[in-house]
Amino acid sequence: MSTLHELLMPYLKLADAVIITDINHVILAVNAPYEKITGYGESEITGKKASVLRTSYTPKETHDQMKRALSLGLSWSGVFTNRRRDSSIWHSSITITVIEIDEAFYYIGIFRELEKLKSGFYLPEERIGSIQSSMLKVLAISCEIRDPGIEQHLVRVRELTERLTHFHNERLQLNWPEELVNRITHASILHDIGKSGIPEGILYKPGPLAYYERQIVEMHTQIGVDIIDKIYAGLNDDLFHQELEMGKNIILYHHEKWDGSGYPHQLAGEDIPIEARIVSVVDVFDALTSIRPYKDKWSEERALAFITEQRGLHFDPELVDSFLALIQSHSN
């Protein structure tokens, strides 16, 4: 403690757990809350590398991001899964700030134990994403269980939606956060759950539909939204709130067309939510290139020609350009 610069001492009085290291990540001091959380006394942990608490549960990418930021003199925030002195696991949200004093650099790490937050538990982002994706897939498949090929279609739509969303974001430099891309991807699998309310005789009828049959099929968008509303009313859980809200937009609007001739509300252009415009392209492409009870499978070339023809009519022109470029890059 005597070797610690006096200007760093006030940090140890914070109510949160605090660790102070030198530029080489050697621990110089910790405060009482840190000792309580980790089980390490200051005298036994001082002089050790901060990695003494490290576990393999924290992704390597997290440590790499931290090192890159600190090497540039930038502050960094993230989540660590660490090990206490008694070998038990704890999760912490940490902010590390670089401090320069008398031409020497120090790292001030401020921890909060996530297990102590009001929610009562902590789920890493990766696990939340996995749970959301899996649960939405189960929901979508259970609503369309009558079609034995539906699972493959839903998975293909989800995977291609993810690729197209990433590609479109990068091509146009839209700066969409990864969280938004993930929400669109997860929610895309819900696009046709409303078809569970359409009679099979109409849904899988070979040949053209009569006018009244077409009207019934088009009701699947509103039926799907009603299903989501009922699920969310019963679930009342923030874990799925954003995905279900995004899902409602996709369900309701993925049959709208860029020129305003779609259904159910004849929206046009950018009035159609972007997530619905993305799924519209992907869904049509996968439907065309798949065998259905009422149609033969189209070749990829024929399906791409149709997508191209419908640029600015059925589909968002920029999304068509991204989709064609994505498929082209994948085939090279």
Beta bridge partners of 19: 30, 109
Q: Tokens at residue 300, please? A: 């990829």
**Where are the domain boundaries for CATH 3.30.450.20 in the chain?**
6-116
pLDDT for 58 equals 81
Q: Residues 195, 248, 295, 297: which is the catalytic one?
A: 195
Model confidence pLDDT, tens digit, residues 282-305: 999 999 998 876 678 999 999 999
Model confidence pLDDT, tens digit, residues 5-53: 788 888 899 988 999 999 999 999 999 999 998 999 999 999 999 888 8
Sorting pLDDT into bands at 50, 70 and 90, what band is 140?
A: low
Q: What global pTM score does this model have?
A: 0.61
Of 207, 234, 209, 206, nearest in space to 219 by CA = 209
Checking if the pLDDT of 120 tops 50, the result is no
CATH class of the domain comprising 126-331: mainly alpha
**Where are the domain boundaries for CATH 1.10.3210.10 in the chain?**
126-331
Q: Is 67 a catalytic residue?
A: no
Strands lying side by side in the sheet with 27-30: 27-30, 17-22, 104-113, 89-101, 76-83
Provide, rounded to the nearest whole percent, the portion of the chain with pLDDT above 90.
45
Checking if the pLDDT of 164 tops 80, the result is yes
Model confidence pLDDT, tens digit, residues 256-282: 999 999 999 999 999 999 999 999 999
pLDDT for 2 equals 42
Q: Give the DSSP letter of residue 296.
A: P
Q: Tokens at residue 178, please? A: 């990864």
Most confident range (mean pLDDT) of 38-47, 53-62, 317-326 is: 317-326
SS3 call for 120:
coil
Level-2 CATH architecture, domain 6-116: 2-Layer Sandwich (3.30)
Helices (H), the chain: 32-38, 42-45, 60-71, 125-143, 150-171, 178-188, 200-203, 211-218, 220-235, 241-253, 274-288, 300-309, 317-331
